[in-house]
Amino acid sequence: MNRKKEICSCYHVTKGDIADAVENGAECFKDVKKATKVGKACGKCKKKAKKLTKKLLMKK
């Protein structure tokens, strides 16, 4: 995984930020959203961010 890859251009949230949120206890996309702000503006990154969150949670 390229941790530097930006998922959310509104809040500049990267894959690494999402991975960190999951690592730090996020249990669902809502938690990730709270921790990183991902998807809180235009919402176009939501689908990608949700998919990545799901993938990371499965590996937990």
Beta bridge mates, 8? 13
Among 18, 19, 22, 45, binds ligand FES (CB under 6 A): 45
Q: Check binding of 9 to ligand FES (CB under 6 A).
A: yes
CA dist 54 and 42 (Å) reads: 21
Q: How far is the CB of 46 from ligand FES (least distance, A)?
A: 7
User: For residues 7 and 13, is the Cβ–Cβ distance under 8 A?
Assistant: yes
Among 30, 42, 47, 55, indicate the residue that binds ligand FES (CB under 6 A): 42
User: Can you read off the two tokens belonging to residue 18?
Assistant: 């999402």
- Which residues here bind ligand FES, judged by CB under 6 A? 8-10, 38-45
